[in-house]
Structure 1
Amino acid sequence: MHQEPESSVSLYGGSSPAAGQDTAIRAGQVPVTVYGLGKMGLPLATVLAEVTGNTIGVDVDPSVVGAVNDGDCPVTGEPGLPDVLRTVVADGSLVATTEGDAAADSATVHVVIVPTLVEDGSPDLTTLRAAVSAVASGLDPGDLVCIESTVPPGTCDGVVLQQLIAESDCERGEFGVAFCPERTASGRALRDVRGAYPKVVGGVDDESTQAAEALYDVVTDNEVHTVGDATTAECVKIFEGVYRDVNIALANELATLAEELGIDVFEAIETANAQPYCDLHRPGSGVGGHCIPYYPYFLIDTCDTGTPLLRRARRINDAMPAYTVGKLCEGLGERGLALSDATVAVLGFAYRPGVDETRESPGVAIASLLRDAGAAVVGVDPVVDLDTADVRSVPIEDLTGMDLDALILATAHEEFDDIDWSVFESPILVDGRNALDDAAGVADAVMTIGIGERARD
């Protein structure tokens, strides 16, 4: 276990003057424990170790803990992370453990960044509560608890604070709780943690906000943006995701009008966005990932006030894979071919280009719909292992030698730009991302979501 410095400094409670907190953090006098070493947690723990020289990472998975302590990075697809992790482990700045209670006992700052799941449309805080229990076991007066996990508004006040009071020996006012949302994206986590965006912090009381500001002012190269309270900070994170979901739903609904209107919706959107007050997103074959498809439910399920717009946006975006398959059925029908007799290649199972993640991926949903309809499905993805995707996996280089009736582009991986479309014998190509500007050889059979037939002509 980590060696504690001779004297630990608390950020909450005024045990160190504000002017000296920066020095104390960098000197390792503010021991930090990070709960959760997943795709977002490990980069955060690594950066905190870089800054503080005194960080413990906690994870329930012994294989993750073992890999970290060996200097091996269990998180893939994060540029620079393996090298930085190796360095902070080698110099003792970061150690990992499965023993959350012991790690909590040695920390004055506790950072929780565990997944908050959505089950049947409802947020599930089970994992968060388990991490908070570990924190409570070692909570001391003067400690600061920072929640980075995305949570429903009111969680820090109504759940975390109350659980810490109930399960520890501390009273309210003896320790701090702040919401400090992660604002990171897969594939760029180190850059984001270090300060690609302002860091938002809001505490359950003013002192909690000030303590969190002091910590993150050292961690980030960007500004620290304090807000009125923890609930406001929670709303900031949720509102960011909800805005994107609703905006994409609007773009998707406009795209479904393209055939009737005979327009290229992308041209219309790009031109409209030339005005500073318009910022329409791009339509496509669906919305995936571990954020946008879930965050609306943190409001839909927890607020008594109705949220019809958020519900409608979710329905629109969830329906886009089926809409994409419907476009394919139209094209096959024009050739007298039933979907059940077709062989279809789905290009892209990652939820976004270049990222090895398939959660809520439109490509996965599209493949499932095709299989349910009786089509023979092959899958192509340069970054995702398709062994568990229940499809026949085909390397990109073998694709052009196959006898295909149709292809659906679900994820615009840059590797697909190199496909020689001219070798195909005019299959139908459904472009779900408007990414195939030059599909030579099949141009007369390209059906792009959001571009009507008259616009194609």
Structure 2
Amino acid sequence: MSLDPSEDEAVPALYGSTVSSDRQRELLTTGAIPVAVYGLGKMGLPLAGVYAETTGTVTGVDIDPAVVESINGGTSHVVGEPGLEDLIAEQVERGRLEATTDGPAAAADARVHVIIVPTLLDDDDTPNLTTVESVIDDIAAGLSPGDLVIAESTLPPGTCRDVLEPHLVDESGLAADEFGIAFCPERTSSGTALRDIRGQYPKVVGGVDAESTRAAAVVYDELSDNEVHPVSDATTAEAVKVFEGVYRDVNIALANELGRLADELEISVREAIATANDLPMCQLHDPGPGVGGHCIPYYPHFLLSRMDEPMELTRTARQVNDEMPTVVVDRLEQELAATGIDLADASVVVLGVTYRPGVEETRASPALGVIDELTARDAAVAGVDPLVDPAEYGARAVEIDDLAAESFDAAVIVTPHQAFDRIPWADLEPMVVVDGRDAVDLSETPHRVYTLGGTARGRAPTDNGSDGPVPADDRSVSADGGNHV
């Protein structure tokens, strides 16, 4: 890519430069300040695309050669993101975006480094920073004075200050005050990534020092149409993102705990929740079969594994949500027993394997727990999903259109994909149906139906289905977790 050097510097910097912020914005948006985006997954590629359309000089870095090849061919490997395929094709054709597996080379050319790779958990639920640290090694190999490093990956609070900055200093040979580090959390959901990145929500920025915060604000003032919200430091910004996830997890756990009272109280808890939510100060979620996705099931552990404070509420909420697939199977076993069928002798079809309708992602999906629990209790398990192959997750794969030719003792609705609207329930052999989402009305069918938490009479079931942000005025959302990186 060709750069358009300014009269101020051959390759202008954002951090610590004497150039005015207005001039920096001009340089940033005319391609004079090259950007590298590390991680081209389901959120990284949309972010790279928006950076390219805004700045004009972006190199995307990914360890997968096939991903790099597809992007350089003008093709998006990420599906289910409206507008992304066209955006990538346009930016590549115009020479504003290219991809590589060579992280150090991309770092040597860039002045802004954006990290958006996943932070997963080890078997003991401790955050694993190996991937982030590997990216930091690549950046350190090409880091120059005046560079700005931006982490969008969700990180345990304190990571920029205590891990990334010391690591960059040790590996690059630069002093801490020669480059900037800011945490600017992504606030995006699968299926709306471009909309969200371009400004659906305020953009939080927080640097390890004031100059890092200022420089990051310059970048996101251009990238986002929404307001930029600077906070006191990078650790505060990291906490904002983690706290958002913990809030959702705790609220969902409350809904799930209340939902489990439906049988004992002999009421529809869903109806009670819907009515309680008439008050603006009440924002109860709907109960569901568990919490899935990249974010909500993981973020509480970013605190639980590191803090001295016991955090019993957060810990209990995680336990409640983790138990929900077992609760679903318990209810199914009870309903089957009422009809004289032993679960160990039953054939069960699980409807929906992905964690969320319309999203091709299974990480931490409640359906996986349901399948595993059914298998452990010796049921014969089949699965239906329009986006993934249930056979890869331990269930015999069945097509939607073949259900009428099958004979099942029970069905469990975990993830209500839109494609399930064409299931001919009235034509299926009578069976027990456990509806984890209050997703279908089977009152005119021969099936025995148990709805988790009861049916919300007079109200259509809601399904926000987001692992990302929930608007403050959305007081009717379902407990299905959410999406990122």
TM-score if structure 2 supplies the norm length? 0.91
Which residue pairs with 2:292 in the alignment? 288
For residues 236 and 420 of structure 1, the distance between their equivalents in structure 2, rounded to whole angstroms, comes to 45
Confirm or deny that 1:75 pairs with 2:78.
yes
Partner of 2:46, secondary structure, is helix
| Further displaced range: 229-238 or 68-77 | 68-77
**Worse overlay, 19-28 or 211-220:** 19-28
- Which residue matches 1:89? 92
Deviations for 1:77-113, whole angstroms, at most 9, x for unmatched residues? 1111111101101111011111111100111100001
In angstroms, what is the RMSD of aligned CA positions? 1.6
Post-superposition Cα deviations, 1:55-85, rounded to whole Å, max 9, x if no partner, equal 0001111111111111121111111111110
Corresponding position of 2:407: 403
Matched, 1:105 2:105: no
Which of residues 382, 385, 409 in structure 1 aligns to 2:386? 382
Matches within 5 A, 1:58-457: 58-120=61-123, 121-442=125-446, 445-451=448-454
How far apart, in 2, do the equivalents of 1:42 and 1:135 lie?
18
> Paired residue for 1:16, among 19, 40, 49?
19
Structure 1 residues 442 and 300: CA distance shift in structure 2, 3 A: farther
- Does the 8 A contact of 1:26 with 1:53 survive in 2? yes
**Residue 14 (structure 1) shift:** 2.6
How many Å apart are 1:364 and its aligned residue?
1.6
> For residues 346 and 334 of structure 2, what CA distance do their matches in structure 1 show?
13
Size of the alignment, in residue pairs?
A: 453
Q: Which runs of 5+ in 1 are unaligned?
A: none
Contact 2:289 2:325 in 1 (8 A): yes
Partners of 1:182 and 1:395 lie apart in 2 by 36
The CA deviation at 1:439 is 4.9
| Partner Cα separation in structure 1 for residue 190 and residue 372 of structure 2 | 25
Report the Cα offset of residue 438 of structure 1. 4.1
Equivalents in 2 of 1:122, 1:442: separation in Å? 48
* Cα displacement string for residues 124-166 of structure 1 (whole angstroms, at most 9, x for unaligned residues): 0000000011111111111100000000000000001111111
What secondary structure sits across from 1:314 in the alignment? helix
Match of 1:49 in 2: 52
Counterpart of 1:125 in structure 2: which amino acid? L
On the 8 A contact 1:421/1:439 being kept in 2, the answer is no
1 or 2 for the larger relative contact order (CA 8 Å, sep ≥6)?
Answer: 2
Give the 3-state SS of the residue equivalent to 1:355 in structure 2.
coil
Partner amino acid, structure 1, of 2:48: A
Structure 2 residue aligned with 1:32 = 35
Amino acid at match of 1:346: V
Question: How far apart, in 1, do the equivalents of 2:228 and 2:266 lie?
Answer: 47
Is the CA contact 1:429–1:442 (under 8 Å) kept in the aligned structure 2?
no
1:410: Cα distance to partner?
0.3
Q: Runs of 4+ in structure 1 displaced over 6 angstroms?
A: none
Deviations 1:26-80 (A, max 9, x none): 1001110001111111110011011111000011111111111111211111111
- Give TM-score, length-normalised by structure 1: 0.97
Percent of aligned pairs sharing the same letter: 54
SS in 1 for 2:299: coil
Tell whether the 8 Å contact from 2:346 to 2:379 is kept in structure 1 after alignment.
yes
Distance 2:146 2:381 in 1: 58
In 2: Cα distance, 1:347 partner to 1:439 partner: 19
Q: CA deviation at 1:5?
A: 3.4
* Structure 1 residue 416, shift from structure 2 partner: 1.6
Does the 8 Å CA contact 1:284/1:449 hold for their aligned counterparts?
yes
SS at match of 2:67: helix
CA distance in 1, matches of 2:391, 2:429: 28
| CA-to-aligned-CA distance 1:256-279 (integer Å, 9 cap, x gap) | 111111111111111111111111
Kept in 1, the 8 Å contact 2:433–2:449? The answer is: yes
